Amino acid sequence: MKIETIKSWILVLLLAPALALAANDDADWTNKLKDQYFAGKSIEESSDVIEIDAPYRAEDPALVPIKIVSKVPQTRDSYIKKILVLVDKNPFPFVGEFEFTPESGKADLAMRIRVNTYSNIRAIAEMNDGRLIMTKKFVKASGGCSAPIGADLDAAMQRLGKMKFRLDDGAKIGEPTQAQLLISHPNITGMQMDQVTRFVKKSHFIKEMRISFNDKPILTAKTDIAISADPNFRFYFVPDKAGVLKAEVADTSCESPTSRDACTAGNSFSETYTLNP
């Protein structure tokens, strides 16, 4: 056998497992998640409407910054109505469902999430005309869902429920304005429990969030344990005049980290920000 032939065989042998792995990346989506969330619907795969920006390798699997970047403006006639975010291989893949309006201006959304293992992060946009467009991004991370609750748990518990808005780039009437919402909450996954020492922590996380400007909704979300401790969101809205940006969030506590059958309602928190551009 020629050296070149041997080399190419070695290459094939080396690549085979990698190729097999790559092919399996979509298995959870194809076999389970697609039907769970979009049974009978057709989804176009494209990065022309939204794209995911995320680090290929996560520094901290419990805190992976991701950004959904929209490629189309939010107009009255055509807008992104909803974006579902999933991490295929998380024990509970649902990260959140985020609803936008024409008042959002831009359906961009940055947040920090937990990624438990090498997995695709998937975002499916639903347009106001019902069209579904999916994009995905592969991220290498490990252990994000069972990872330590936070560096300083007591500090996190003490300021639980505290929130603040930041509008660092300023605001302009009639133009998409970026706002950041910081929520202090440990967002406990419930996967940190240890039966041996009987230290059992139920999951305890932000389950819904309503952000409005002058009472008009701009971002409404259902969220879950894949959102990192101290949830942090950046989003857009178009202020039509001076007014009040308001966030109302509610948390819940569930018996199991991966089932939502037995949960108890928690507390509600709210925060406002007065905008005088």
Residue closer to other proteins (CB basis): 153 or 263 = 153
Q: Which stretch binds other proteins (CB under 8 A): 24-32, 121-129, 155-163, 238-246?
A: 155-163
- Cα–Cα distance for residue pair 95/110, rounded to 1 Å: 13
Of 96 and 257, which CB lies nearer to other proteins in the complex structure?
257
Tokens of 69: 């970047």
**Strand partners for 82:** 99, 126
172 binds other proteins (CB under 8 A): no
How many chain residues interact with other proteins (CB under 8 A)?
40
Q: What is the DSSP string of 159-183?
A: TTT-EEEE-TT---TTS-EEEEEEE
By CB under 8 A, the residues from 70 to 99 that bind other proteins are: none
What tokens does 182 get?
Answer: 């910081």
152 binds other proteins (CB under 8 A): yes
Return the number of the residue (61 or 105) whose C-beta is nearest other proteins: 61
The reply to whether 160 sits near other proteins by the rule CB under 8 A is: no
**Per CB under 8 A, 31 contacts other proteins:** no
When binding is defined by CB under 8 A, the residue of 49, 63, 85, 209 that contacts other proteins is 63
Query: E strands of 172-238, at which residues?
Result: 177-183, 203-213, 216-223, 232-237
| Residue pair 63/115 in contact by the 8 Å Cβ criterion | no
Cβ contact 193:148 at 8 Å: no
Q: How open is the CA angle 186-227-235, to the nearest 5 degrees?
A: 115
Stretch that binds other proteins, among 3-11, 80-88, 229-237, 255-263 (CB under 8 A): 229-237
Closer Cβ to other proteins, 118 or 138, answer by number: 118
